[in-house]
Chain A
Amino acid sequence: MTLDTSLGTNPTTGSDRASGSTTAGSGASDAPRPAGRRPAKRIADWRKRAEIAVLAGPAVIVFVTFVILPVGMAAYYGFFKWQGYGPPTDFVGLQNYVIIFQDQAFRSVLMHNGFIVVLSLVLQGPIAIVLALLLNQKMHGRGLIRVLVFVPYVISEVIVGTGWSLLLQSNGAVNDMLQGIGLGGLRADWLSNPDIAIWTLLLIISWKYIGFAVILFLAGLQSIPEELFEAAAIDGAGYWQIQRRITLPLLGPTIRIWAFLSIIGSLQLFDLVYIIWGQYIASTAGTSTMATYMVGNGRNSGNYGFGSAVAVVMFIISLAVALIYQRFVLRRDTAGAITEGKK
């Protein structure tokens, strides 16, 4: 992780890295690069500013307009009862938030999101690690396998959703196959039965995203120096002992990053649920998420103020989880990669 070290210098505060802060007084000095690239730097200062403006300007404008501004607008609109026409005028204070937290439906979407967060980790993590360990052995067709396991990740949520909803219909291929192999007793209404539906969702999510985890872990495994394994083997360690004592601990950073991405993804889950179930069936089938709740009760019912408030709640939950995770789990791995500058 190089982010923290490479941006350890914070010019705004003038606190340079220890290495070369003696060079010059100004905060914009080239301190950590003692080589001093441009002797005539001060004269060309105006030119440098112009270059910065020209090169950084467009990206900053696009980013602030379409990312920062909308998030800020959500925070503002959340205090209004507003249908999206004209400027918001009906200020209701925290009422939207009160409604959200008193709404039984919101509590159940929170439960669903929590369920998906936890079970995605519990289900996908171990399976993906075992698969990555297996696929990391010398075997024929390893390159091809790596490509093929990535296919579900590359195709779009809409295609995954459409395909799986056809497969899982009550008269669809999955039930037909179960019948065919003599397990007709296991036929079920995979999508509409509220006892099963969220497990079905979990299965589809796992199908789509486990390949990503496997590829990530394989990449992590390849960065472990081979000498370690040789040394352990010479010392008489068996295959599984090596995996448990050497591979897993060294794979730790990769696993923790994957878990972070998985958690955030689970909290923001929208596409698959909305495509397979739609906003109404999702709540009866018990697969609705915070995001489908937001879209259903916000834009789809014309309550932009309320929808914005839900977005804010979602954002705060994700941010809190991310910061807690960062603080307690990722601490050593990425120290500051994501929260850089917030200190």
Chain B
Amino acid sequence: MATTSIVAPGRRATSERRSSAAIGRANPLTYVVAILFVAANLAPVLYIVLGGFRTNSQITTSPAGLPAPFELGNYGSVLSSSIFWRELGNSAISAIATTVGVVVLGLMVSYILARYRFAGRGALYALFAAGLMFPITVAITPLYLLIKDLGLTNSLAGVILPQIAFALPTTVIIMVPFLRAIPDELEEAASIDGASRLGFFFRMIVPLSLPGVVTVGILAFIASWNSYILPLFILNNEGSYTLPLGVQAFSSQYSVDTAKVLAFTSMSMIPALIFFTIFQRRIVGGLTGAVKG
């Protein structure tokens, strides 16, 4: 997810023109293809969700069958287990803290890069842009050693700080053109009215950049919610596990209890799906902005 927006949203104003360039009216074949495609996308997800409502003997006798009858026990035991809620809490804390950190730090530095002129600005921008070429996979081994030296292993801070750092390049690249597009006249008007540059930042830039901030925040939240390799290295103590590690631990611990694994897996995907449903317009719109420009 992190690298989805290498290309910056250029002229926001033009991307408002949502009227589709659709030509032709869909014929029945189109609907058939669309339905097949959607079905292929959803079938594995439905398998996980519905599998959680089955018993292990149902799954063994007919792996591809539907729940008959519906068995609520698996979801019940997941919902009543403290492990699930603890891991959900850990995931939520690290996703929210990452999002807040990325938005705050990213907006501040982007503001500087977009609207201040100073020696070394190009170099600073290049530094962040180059960060796109440093995926976390490459840095993970020394990063783990660094976190260990800082005494942050098994703590969520050890996950949150690097996540903020690795989300900054995307954020800067999305936010800088966005902030640059805010008309200079606004700043002049504000300064005539007696606002300092910092006052302008807090009173004008922050509210005006909200759409960009939301896009950046969503990307950071989902990346953190799904992040795997970083927690895998940093969090070795079950008490600090986030949901992805929890799902994996749970599925190897209860490998014979497939139904329960499916219930646990589907419960851990529901928060991300709800989040996505609420913000889908923003996500898809953010990508739209990312491609145009």
Interface residues, chain A, with chain B CB atoms under 8 Å away: 1-3, 6-7, 9-12, 27-30, 33, 35, 37-38, 48-49, 51-52, 54-56, 58-60, 62-71, 73-74, 77, 84, 131, 134-140, 145-152, 154-160, 162-164, 166-167, 169, 171-177, 180, 207, 211-212, 215-216, 219-226, 229, 233, 239, 242, 253-254, 257, 260-261, 264-265, 268, 270-271, 274-275, 291, 294-295, 298-299, 304, 307-308, 311, 314-315, 318-319, 322, 334, 337-342
Interface membership of chain B positions 23-50, coded 1 if the CB is closer than 8 angstroms to chain A and 0 otherwise = 1111000110110011011101101100
| A74 partner, pick from B106, B141, B261, B276, beta carbons under 8 A | B141
Instruction: Please determine whether A166 and B145 come into contact, CB atoms closer than 8 angstroms.
Output: no
| A167 partner, pick from B44, B145, B168, beta carbons under 8 A | B44
- Number of A-B residue pairs having CB atoms within 8 Å of each other in the complex: 375
Chain A nearest CB, measured from B49 CB (Å): 10
A167-B62 Cα distance, complex, nearest whole Å = 12
A320-B19 Cα distance, complex, nearest whole Å = 40
| A37 partner, pick from B8, B184, B233, beta carbons under 8 A | B184
Interface membership of chain B positions 219-260, coded 1 if the CB is closer than 8 angstroms to chain A and 0 otherwise = 000100110110001000000000111011001000000100
The answer, yes or no, to whether B69 is at the interface (CB within 8 Å) is: no
List residues 113-141 of chain B with CB under 8 A from any CB of chain A.
113, 116-135, 137-141
A71-B135 Cα distance, complex, nearest whole Å = 10
Contacts of B280 in A (CB 8 A): 147, 150
Instruction: Please determine whether B284 and A319 come into contact, CB atoms closer than 8 angstroms.
Output: no
| B142 partner, pick from A77, A164, A175, A215, beta carbons under 8 A | A77
Majority DSSP secondary structure for residues of A touching B? helix
Instruction: Please determine whether A159 and B269 come into contact, CB atoms closer than 8 angstroms.
Output: yes
Instruction: Please determine whether A6 and B180 come into contact, CB atoms closer than 8 angstroms.
Output: yes
| A150 partner, pick from B30, B138, B276, beta carbons under 8 A | B276
Instruction: Please determine whether B121 and A11 come into contact, CB atoms closer than 8 angstroms.
Output: yes
Instruction: Please determine whether B37 and A131 come into contact, CB atoms closer than 8 angstroms.
Output: yes
| B109 partner, pick from A59, A71, A221, A339, beta carbons under 8 A | A59
A12-B123, A158-B245, A314-B137 are known; give 15 further A-B pairs, CB within 8 A: A3-B8, A56-B124, A71-B138, A73-B145, A131-B37, A137-B25, A146-B284, A151-B276, A177-B64, A223-B15, A257-B6, A261-B3, A274-B229, A322-B133, A341-B123
A73-B169 Cα distance, complex, nearest whole Å = 20
Instruction: Please determine whether A74 and B138 come into contact, CB atoms closer than 8 angstroms.
Output: yes
A53-B41 Cα distance, complex, nearest whole Å = 48
Residues of B within 8 A of A (CB-CB), count: 122
Some 22 contacts from A to B, beta carbons below 8 A apart, are A10-B122, A12-B123, A55-B111, A62-B161, A63-B128, A67-B134, A67-B162, A84-B145, A134-B33, A136-B20, A138-B25, A156-B269, A166-B51, A167-B47, A169-B63, A173-B64, A207-B41, A224-B21, A275-B248, A295-B140, A311-B141, A339-B129
The answer, yes or no, to whether B4 is at the interface (CB within 8 Å) is: yes
Instruction: Please determine whether B146 and A342 come into contact, CB atoms closer than 8 angstroms.
Output: no
Interface residues, chain B, with chain A CB atoms under 8 Å away: 3-4, 6-8, 10-11, 15, 18-26, 30-31, 33-34, 37-38, 40-42, 44-45, 47-48, 51, 60, 62-64, 101, 105-106, 108-109, 111-113, 116-135, 137-146, 161-162, 164-166, 168-169, 173, 176-177, 180, 184, 187-188, 191, 197-198, 201, 222, 225-226, 228-229, 233, 243-245, 247-248, 251, 258, 261-262, 265, 268-269, 272-273, 276-277, 280, 283-284, 287-288, 290-293
Q: Identify the closest chain A residue to B62 (Cβ).
A: A176
A253-B247 Cα distance, complex, nearest whole Å = 38
Instruction: Please determine whether A139 and B34 come into contact, CB atoms closer than 8 angstroms.
Output: yes
Contacts of A270 in B (CB 8 A): 137, 229
| Known pairs A60-B109, A137-B24; A151 contacts B291 (CB<8 A) | no
Q: Identify the closest chain A residue to B110 (Cβ).
A: A59
Chain B nearest CB, measured from A226 CB (Å): 5
Instruction: Please determine whether B22 and A136 come into contact, CB atoms closer than 8 angstroms.
Output: yes
Contacts of B287 in A (CB 8 A): 215-216, 219
| A9 partner, pick from B45, B122, B228, B258, beta carbons under 8 A | B122
Instruction: Please determine whether A314 and B138 come into contact, CB atoms closer than 8 angstroms.
Output: yes
Q: Identify the closest chain B residue to A258 (Cβ).
A: B291
A52-B111 Cα distance, complex, nearest whole Å = 9
| A148 partner, pick from B20, B38, B197, B268, beta carbons under 8 A | B38
Contacts of A171 in B (CB 8 A): 60, 63
Q: Identify the closest chain A residue to B270 (Cβ).
A: A155
Instruction: Please determine whether B129 and A338 come into contact, CB atoms closer than 8 angstroms.
Output: yes
Instruction: Please determine whether A2 and B11 come into contact, CB atoms closer than 8 angstroms.
Output: yes
Instruction: Please determine whether A157 and B45 come into contact, CB atoms closer than 8 angstroms.
Output: no
Instruction: Please determine whether A166 and B277 come into contact, CB atoms closer than 8 angstroms.
Output: no
| Known pairs A1-B293, A155-B273, A219-B292; A67 contacts B131 (CB<8 A) | yes
Instruction: Please determine whether A2 and B293 come into contact, CB atoms closer than 8 angstroms.
Output: yes
Chain B nearest CB, measured from A198 CB (Å): 19
Instruction: Please determine whether A37 and B187 come into contact, CB atoms closer than 8 angstroms.
Output: yes
A339-B133 Cα distance, complex, nearest whole Å = 9
| Known pairs A65-B165, A151-B45, A340-B125; A304 contacts B145 (CB<8 A) | yes
Q: Identify the closest chain A residue to B229 (Cβ).
A: A270
Chain A nearest CB, measured from B207 CB (Å): 17
A59-B109 Cα distance, complex, nearest whole Å = 6
Contacts of A338 in B (CB 8 A): 6, 129, 132-133
